[in-house]
Amino acid sequence: MKTSTLKPVMGYVAGLIFGLGLGISGMTDPARVLGFLDVAGAWDPTLMFVLGGAVVTNFIGYRLVLRRPSPLYGEAFQLPTRRDLDGRLIGGAALFGIGWGLSGYCPGPAVASIAGLTLPLAALLVAMVAGWFLARAVPTSA
C-alpha cells in the first residue's frame, strides 16, 4: 500500500488505542479526574497511575523508536526543540489548568467522549475550539 494511504491508517490506530486507554482508565469520567485534583477532599489517586503508566511506557517506547533514522511512514521525527521557558507557556498552562479544574475535561477525554455527547460537553467543545482560534490570534511576542 502507498504511504499516503497508510498514514491515515496509522493515525486511526493511534487514536483508537488512545481512546481505549482513556476509557479503560476511567479518564472519560470527569468525576474521577476531579477526584484526583481534589487533594483536600476524598482524594482519588487513579490519574497518577494513568499518567505514570503512560509516561513510563512512552519513555521506554521513545528510547527504542528514536534510535531509528526515521519513522516508518514519514520523512523525519518531528520533535519540539525549544528548551526555554516563557510567559506564553506558563500562562497558557495556568489558564488550561483552571479550565481543567472547573470541568474535569482536558482535550483528549473531552473529544473521546463525543459518543456520549451532552449539551454541557458540546458547549465545552465549541468553546475549546473558539479558544484555539483565539490563541492563534495572540502574537507570539506576547
Partner 1 sequence: MDLSATLHGLVGGVLIGLSATWLMATLGRIAGISGIIGTLITARPKGDSAWRLTFVLGLISGPIVLMLSGGGLGNVAGGAVDVTGQVIGEPAGGVMLMLVAGLLVGVGTGLGSGCTSGHGVCGLARLSPRSLVATLTFLAAAMITVYVVRHIIGGGA
Tell me, residue by residue from 99 to 128, as one string, x for binding to partner 1 by CB under 8 A and - for no binding: xxxxxxxxxx-xxxxxxx-xxxx-xxxxxx
Judged by CB under 8 A, the chain residues 20 through 79 that form the site for partner 1 are 20-32, 34, 37-41, 44-62, 64-66, 68, 70-79
Q: How many residues of this chain interact with partner 1, rule: CB under 8 A?
A: 118
Q: How far apart are CA 89 and CA 135, in angstroms?
A: 12
Task: Give the amino acid at 19.
Answer: G
Work out how close the CB of 109 gets to partner 1 at its nearest, in angstroms, rounded to a whole number.
9
Work out how close the CB of 43 gets to partner 1 at its nearest, in angstroms, rounded to a whole number.
10
Q: Does 96 bind partner 1 (CB under 8 A)?
A: yes
Closest listed residue to residue 47, CA positions, set 31, 17, 27, 20: 27
Assigned C-alpha cell, 131 = 479558544
Q: How far apart are CA 5 and CA 66, in angstroms?
A: 23
Work out how close the CB of 31 gets to partner 1 at its nearest, in angstroms, rounded to a whole number.
5
